[in-house]
Chains A and B, each alone.
Chain A
Amino acid sequence: MSSFVYTRSELTRTFRNYRFFVFSLGFPLALYFLIAGPNRHEDILGIPLPLYFMTGMMAFGTMIAVVSSGGRIAAERQLGWNRQLRITPLRAPAYLSAKVLSGYAMAASSILLIGLAGTIVGVRLTVGEWATLVVLILIGLIPFAGMGIAIGHLVSVDSLGPLMGGLTSILALLGGAWGPIATSGALHTVSEAMPSYWLVQAGKTAIGGSVWPLTGWLVIAAWSVAMAALAAWAYRRDTGKA
Chain B
Amino acid sequence: MAPDGPAPGIWLRGLTRSFGTVHAVKGIDLTVAPGEIVALLGPNGAGKSTTIDLLLGLGEPDGGTVAIFGQPPRAAIDAGAVGAMLQTGGLIRELSVRELLVVMASLYPAPLGVDEVLALTGIEELADRRTDALSGGETQRVRFAIAIISDPQLLVLDEPTVAMDVSARHGFWEAMRSFASRGKTVLFATHYLEEADAWADRIVLMARGSIVADGPTGEIKAMVGSRTIRATLPGADLAALEQLPGVHAVERHGQTVLLTCADSDAALRALLAAEPGACDIEVTAAGLEAAFLELTADPTSAVPA
The stretch from B29-37, B103-111, B172-180, B293-301 touching chain A is: B103-111
Residue of A nearest to B130 (CB): A16
Which residues 107-149 in A have Cβ within 8 Å of B in the complex? none
Distance from B151 Cβ to chain A, minimum over Cβ atoms (Å): 13
B50 x A242 contact (CB < 8 A): yes
B90 x A80 contact (CB < 8 A): yes
Chain B contacts for A88, CB-based, 8 A: 77, 104, 107-108, 150
A9 x B103 contact (CB < 8 A): yes
A80 x B86 contact (CB < 8 A): yes
> Interface 1/0s, chain B 72-114, versus A by CB < 8 A?
0000011010101010111111110001101110111100000
Asked whether any CB of chain B lies closer than 8 Å to the CB of A76, the reply is: yes
A1 x B109 contact (CB < 8 A): yes
From A13, A79, A241, B95 is in contact (CB under 8 Å) with A13
Known contacts A6-B103, A84-B146, A13 near B58 by CB under 8 Å:
no
> Interface 1/0s, chain B 17-52, versus A by CB < 8 A?
101000000000000000000000000000000100
Chain B contacts for A12, CB-based, 8 A: 94-95, 99
- Give the A-B contact count at a CB cut-off of 8 A: 77
Asked whether any CB of chain B lies closer than 8 Å to the CB of A233, the reply is: no
A80 to B146 Cα, complex, angstroms: 14
Known contacts A87-B77, A89-B80, A5 near B90 by CB under 8 Å:
no
A79 to B106 Cα, complex, angstroms: 21
Distance from A134 Cβ to chain B, minimum over Cβ atoms (Å): 27
A95 to B89 Cα, complex, angstroms: 18
Residue of B nearest to A82 (CB): B89
Asked whether any CB of chain B lies closer than 8 Å to the CB of A90, the reply is: yes
From B84, B90, B99, B102, A79 is in contact (CB under 8 Å) with B90
Residue of B nearest to A79 (CB): B90
Distance from B139 Cβ to chain A, minimum over Cβ atoms (Å): 10
Residue of A nearest to B84 (CB): A87
Chain A contacts for B106, CB-based, 8 A: 1-2, 4-6
Which residues 1-19 in A have Cβ within 8 Å of B in the complex? 1-6, 9, 12-13, 16-17
Distance from B138 Cβ to chain A, minimum over Cβ atoms (Å): 16
B108 x A80 contact (CB < 8 A): no
From A3, A5, A84, A242, B53 is in contact (CB under 8 Å) with A242
Asked whether any CB of chain B lies closer than 8 Å to the CB of A27, the reply is: no
A90 x B107 contact (CB < 8 A): yes
A79 x B91 contact (CB < 8 A): yes
Q: Which of A5, A12, A16 has the most CB of B within 10 A?
A: A5
Asked whether any CB of chain B lies closer than 8 Å to the CB of A237, the reply is: no
B58 x A86 contact (CB < 8 A): yes
Asked whether any CB of chain A lies closer than 8 Å to the CB of B56, the reply is: yes
A147 to B284 Cα, complex, angstroms: 57
Known contacts A6-B103, A84-B86, A89-B77, A76 near B109 by CB under 8 Å:
no
From A3, A9, A81, A89, B108 is in contact (CB under 8 Å) with A89
Known contacts A9-B103, A16-B94, A80 near B88 by CB under 8 Å:
yes
From A1, A3, A9, A83, B86 is in contact (CB under 8 Å) with A83
A184 to B94 Cα, complex, angstroms: 47
B103 x A5 contact (CB < 8 A): yes
Chain A contacts for B53, CB-based, 8 A: 242
A242 x B58 contact (CB < 8 A): yes
Chain A contacts for B197, CB-based, 8 A: none
Distance from A123 Cβ to chain B, minimum over Cβ atoms (Å): 34
Chain A contacts for B94, CB-based, 8 A: 12-13, 16-17
Residue of B nearest to A4 (CB): B106
Distance from A211 Cβ to chain B, minimum over Cβ atoms (Å): 37
A89 x B89 contact (CB < 8 A): no
* A-B contact list, 7 entries, CB within 8 Å: A1-B108, A3-B107, A5-B106, A16-B94, A88-B107, A89-B80, A242-B58
| A residues apposed to B, CB below 8 Å | 1-6, 9, 12-13, 16-17, 76, 79-81, 83-84, 86-90, 241-242
| B residues apposed to A, CB below 8 Å | 17, 19, 50, 53-54, 56-60, 77-78, 80, 82, 84, 86, 88-95, 99-100, 102-104, 106-109, 146, 150
